[in-house]
């Protein structure tokens, strides 16, 4: 039977029987509604699951609330919502029958800013990295602190970075697709839930790169999730817990998610509900009555004690997916329970799920380091990335009338020195997917099958990319043509006006302008010197230090150690210059070839004379 029939027939029967609680699911209208409202598909090319139906019902109930509360309509139940979705999202002429003021499709189709792909380019020292931070904050918040308040801007940038909303990476010559998207990394064999060690050695496991990680965060920012008020993490303990082996016990995890509990495979067939088992020694004594030689470190003892007694109501449990990923976060809301009718995993605690992920995320998103192999243990609270965890728990998607039309939170990837890597190699097939109209939920959305994990991958529309490019390293004209077509380019040139006109008696504005005019004459405009080199100069000593340790070495690099050109830029007119000294070299007495050509040794003066900068002022 086709998947569409497997969905439509049983859900229609359920909707006939319980129209106040169920809705009939036809692929096209439900798919269209999900893409327009939530920027993702609610249906997969697979048998219909309880989780998928839960998402459809959550969206339908949110629409019902809007129809009643905002529009003043009088829908009787979800059957009326079903009819509304089928009419407005089925591509029929009836789309035009609903006015712009009342059309949920029109309202939900309002996009925030279109996906931004921008590269800030210019000579060194023009503030590209700083400006990229400002652009990232602006994209995330809609506003950014004033350029003059650098400390406030960087504090906000770092706060968003800690929260996982901004990721920062610097490209270099060795940077690869495996670093950026995904690659195979060795992983040692892990101990399974039953306490038996798997085969020794290691295996190669697909591991996400920085782009795939932040894409996963951005994609799930708009997903429908259980509603929760602002969540305070203070005073709570954090536990890592496995719910069956990630690779072959998915039914245990799904049953726990559907049933609202966490379950432990350790603990045997004993009901540990008796209050005496709140003590570790009581649990150990009970086990030793069965197995006299059992160690106090055995999982049946330690794991049972953690679930039975260490966990408290209000504690946070993070469900692992292997040692390197997590897939759900919940709050413990009930005491220990023994499920006597279950065949295994009988030891349980009731949980309110705060976040159930469609795609598992790397554990580094919310934790310093990886999980260990133990099924259940308390996590050191110092290792929790609280800002990132609060961000994940705080994104509630369209779960209320107010949130129905709320766009997903923006995410930003900042790529510093984007032109220093082999762009075609690093981006691979993703070079097409970053186009604004190819993003998930957009008109021409595309996905690709990744080569290592074989996952279907697309780039979410709420992920923005900001790159920086130093034109002195590589001309923009030489940049990969495919990249040029997919990015906007904003040029940042030196701004002498930002500098002082009297620093130790020197007009630095005039100094920078004169230097750049000469550089452009002898070389080109892309190798000018940025104002940032002089921003921290507060005295003549500071200025001399910058000239000696930064500007002169940079000019030497620009002119490939042609010191005559360098001296012309500095305005040196004699052997004893203001900044350099030229000493004529005597030819060897052996009569070397070209001994009649004058050759010189060049040195930077240890001290610059008082009038060293005067000729730049004229």
> What is the pLDDT averaged over residues 468-482?
74
Residue 75's Cβ-side half-sphere holds a number of Cα atoms within 13 Å equal to 23
The reply to whether 233 and 380 lie within a common domain is yes
What is the rounded CA–CA span in Å between residue 351 and residue 341? 19
Place of tokens 């072959």: 248
Give yes or no for residue 214 having a pLDDT over 60: yes
Other C-beta atoms closer than 10 Å to the C-beta of 542 total 14
Q: Is residue 133 part of a domain?
A: no
Tell me if 242 sits within 8 A of 320, measured CB to CB: yes
pLDDT digits (tens, 9 = 90+) for 584-607: 988 877 665 666 778 899 999 999
What pLDDT is recorded for position 568? 94
The token pair that represents 295 in the structure block:
């160690």
- pLDDT value at 558 more than 60: yes
pLDDT at 203 over 80: no
Same domain assignment for residues 88 and 230: no
In the beta sheet, which residues pair with residue 325? Answer: 362
Nearest to 552 by CA among 605, 611, 475, 508: 605
**What confidence score (pLDDT) does residue 468 get?**
95
Residue 452 domain-assigned (yes or no): no
CB 417 within 8 A of CB 469: yes
User: Residue 399 above 90 pLDDT?
Assistant: no
C-alpha to C-alpha distances, 584 to 193, 587, 595, 603, 609, nearest whole angstrom: 79, 10, 13, 12, 22
User: pTM higher than 0.95, yes or no?
Assistant: no
Asked if the structure places residue 172 within a domain, the reply is: no
* Residue 221: per-residue pLDDT: 78
Residues 478 and 128: their CA atoms lie apart, in Å, by 19
- pLDDT category at 540 given cuts 50, 70, 90 is very high
Query: How much is the pLDDT for 44?
Result: 66
DSSP state of 367: B
- Summarize pLDDT for 421-435 with one digit per residue, the tens: 888 899 988 889 999
483 or 536, higher pLDDT: 536
Residue 617 has which token pair? Answer: 């002022």
Q: Is residue 392 a contact partner of residue 329, using CB atoms and an 8 Å limit?
A: yes
Closest CA relative to residue 461, chosen from 133, 73, 35: 35
User: Is residue 323 in some structural domain?
Assistant: yes
Average pLDDT, the chain: 84
Question: 62, 93, 108: which is the final residue of a domain?
Answer: 108
* 230 and 364 within one domain: yes
Q: Which among 125, 135, 265 is positioned nearest to 194, based on CA atoms?
A: 265
**Last-in-domain residue among 384, 412, 433:** 384
Q: Domain limits at 603?
A: 496-617
Q: Is the pLDDT of residue 156 over 90?
A: yes
134 found inside a domain: no
Structural domain count, the chain: 3
SS3 567: helix
Q: Which long-range contacts (CB under 8 A, 24 or more apart) does 401-406 make?
A: 401/62, 401/65, 401/66, 401/69, 401/70, 403/62, 404/37, 404/62, 404/63, 404/65, 404/66, 404/104, 404/108, 405/107, 405/108, 405/110
Average pLDDT over residues 379-408: 72
Report the percentage of the chain scoring pLDDT > 90: 52
Task: Over range 141-148, report the average pLDDT.
Answer: 83
DSSP state of 494: -
Alpha-helix residue ranges (DSSP H) falling in 142-233: 150-162, 177-180, 210-220
Confidence label for 617 from pLDDT (cuts 50, 70 and 90)? confident
Residue whose C-alpha is closest to residue 440's, from 41, 45, 105, 117: 41
Average pLDDT, integer, range 199-217 = 83
Q: Is residue 155 part of a domain?
A: no
Chain position carrying tokens 């089925």? 90
The confidence score (pLDDT) of residue 113 equals 54
Q: Are residues 379 and 230 in the same domain?
A: yes
Contact 277, 341 (CB under 8 A): no
Cβ neighbours of residue 282 closer than 8 Å, sequence gap 6 or more? 276
Taking the CB of residue 551, how many other CB atoms lie within 10 A of it?
21
Query: Whose CA is closest to 459, among 119, 223, 215, 221?
Result: 215
In this predicted model, which residue has the larger pLDDT, 521 or 405? Answer: 521
- Spatial separation of the C-alpha atoms in residues 508 and 510, rounded to whole Å: 5
Alpha helices in 89-209 (DSSP H): 104-108, 128-141, 150-162, 177-180
Q: Which of 354, 384, 414 is the last residue before a domain boundary?
A: 384
51 or 293, higher pLDDT: 293
- The larger pLDDT score, comparing residue 220 to residue 457, is at 457
pLDDT of 309 over the 80 cut: yes
User: Can you list the positions of beta strands (E) in 44-163?
Assistant: 117-122
Task: Say what the pLDDT of residue 406 is.
Answer: 61
Range with the lowest mean pLDDT among 9-13, 209-213, 400-404, 447-451? 400-404
* Residue of 552, 565, 553 whose CA lies nearest to 522: 565
Of the candidates 127, 119, 167, 124, the residue with the CA atom closest to the CA atom of residue 150: 127
- Asked if 457 and 214 count as a contact pair (C-beta separation under 8 A), the reply is no
| pLDDT interval class at 413 (50, 70, 90) | very high
pLDDT of residue 105: 32
**pLDDT for res 205:** 82
Q: Vertex 503, ends 500 and 507: CA angle to 5°? A: 60
In CATH, what number is assigned to the domain containing residue 282? Answer: 3.10.590
Helices within 292-352 (DSSP H only): 299-305
pLDDT at 25: 87
116 occurs within a structural domain: no
pLDDT tens for each residue of 220-257:
876 544 444 456 788 899 999 999 876 667 889 999 99
Q: Is the pLDDT of residue 396 over 50?
A: no
Alpha carbon dihedral 58, 459, 489, 493, in 10-degree steps, equals 80
Residue 160 lies in a domain: no
Q: Where do we find the tokens 């990229």?
A: 132
CA-CA distance, 114 to 464, in Å (whole number)? 9
As a whole number, mean pLDDT of residues 179-200 equals 64
With cut-offs at 50, 70 and 90, classify the pLDDT of residue 103: very low
CB atoms within 10 A of CB 501: 11
Q: What is the pLDDT of residue 53?
A: 85
């Amino acid at each position: 039977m086709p998947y569409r029939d497997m969905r439509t027939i049983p859900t229609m029967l359920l909707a006939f029987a319980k129209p106040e609680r169920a809705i009939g699911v036809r692929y096209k209208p439900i798919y269209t509604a999900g893409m327009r409202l939530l920027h993702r598909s609610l249906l997969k090319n697979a048998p219909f699951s309880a989780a998928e139906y839960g998402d459809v019902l959550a969206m339908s109930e949110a629409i019902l609330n809007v129809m009643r509360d905002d529009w003043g309509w009088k829908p009787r139940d979800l059957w009326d919502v079903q009819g509304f979705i089928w009419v407005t999202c089925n591509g029929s002429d009836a789309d035009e029958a609903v006015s712009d003021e009342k059309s949920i499709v029109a309202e939900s189709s309002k996009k925030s800013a279109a996906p931004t792909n921008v590269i800030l380019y210019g000579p060194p020292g023009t503030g590209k990295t700083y400006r990229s931070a400002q652009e990232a904050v602006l994209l995330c918040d809609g506003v950014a602190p004033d350029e003059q308040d650098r400390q406030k801007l960087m504090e906000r940038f770092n706060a968003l970075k800690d929260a996982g909303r901004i990721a920062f990476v610097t490209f270099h010559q060795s940077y690869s697709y495996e670093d950026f998207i995904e690659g195979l990394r060795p992983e040692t064999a892990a101990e399974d839930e039953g306490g038996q060690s798997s085969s020794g050695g290691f295996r190669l496991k697909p591991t996400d790169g920085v782009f795939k990680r932040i894409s996963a965060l951005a994609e799930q920012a708009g997903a429908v999730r259980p509603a929760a008020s602002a969540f305070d993490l203070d005073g709570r303990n954090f536990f890592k817990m496995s719910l069956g082996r990630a690779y072959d016990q998915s039914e245990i995890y799904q049953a726990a998610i559907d049933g609202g509990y966490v379950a432990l495979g350790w603990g045997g067939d004993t009901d540990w509900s008796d209050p005496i088992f709140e003590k570790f020694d009581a649990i150990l004594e009970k086990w030793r009555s069965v197995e006299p030689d059992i160690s106090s470190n055995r999982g049946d003892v330690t794991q049972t004690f953690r679930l039975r007694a260490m966990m408290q109501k209000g504690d946070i449990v993070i469900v692992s997916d292997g040692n390197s990923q997590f897939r759900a976060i919940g709050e413990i809301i009930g005491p220990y329970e023994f499920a006597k009718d279950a065949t295994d995993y009988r030891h349980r605690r009731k949980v309110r799920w705060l976040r159930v992920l469609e795609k598992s995320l790397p554990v580094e998103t919310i934790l310093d380091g990886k999980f260990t192999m133990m099924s259940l243990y308390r996590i050191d609270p110092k290792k929790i990335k609280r800002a990132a965890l609060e961000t994940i728990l705080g994104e509630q998607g369209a779960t209320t009338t107010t949130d129905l039309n709320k766009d997903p939170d923006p995410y930003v990837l900042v790529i510093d020195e984007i032109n220093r890597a082999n762009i075609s190699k690093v981006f691979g097939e993703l070079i097409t997917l970053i186009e604004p109209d190819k993003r998930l939920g957009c008109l021409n959305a595309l996905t690709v099958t990744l080569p290592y994990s074989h996952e279907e991958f697309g780039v979410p529309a709420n992920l923005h990319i900001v790159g920086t490019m130093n034109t002195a390293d590589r001309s923009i004209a030489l940049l990969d043509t495919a990249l040029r077509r997919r990015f906007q380019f904003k040029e940042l040139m030196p701004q002498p006006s930002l500098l002082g006109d009297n620093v130790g008696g020197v007009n630095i504005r005039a100094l920078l302008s004169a230097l750049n005019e000469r550089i452009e004459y002898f070389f080109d405009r892309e190798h000018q010197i940025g104002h940032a080199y002089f921003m921290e100069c507060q005295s003549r000593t500071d200025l001399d230090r910058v000239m000696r340790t930064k500007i002169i070495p940079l000019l030497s690099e620009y002119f490939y150690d042609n010191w005559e050109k360098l001296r012309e830029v500095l305005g040196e007119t004699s052997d004893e210059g203001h900044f350099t000294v030229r000493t004529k070299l005597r030819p060897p007495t052996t009569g070397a070839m070209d001994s009649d050509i004058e050759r010189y040794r060049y040195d930077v003066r240890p001290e610059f004379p008082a009038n060293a900068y005067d000729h730049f002022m004229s």
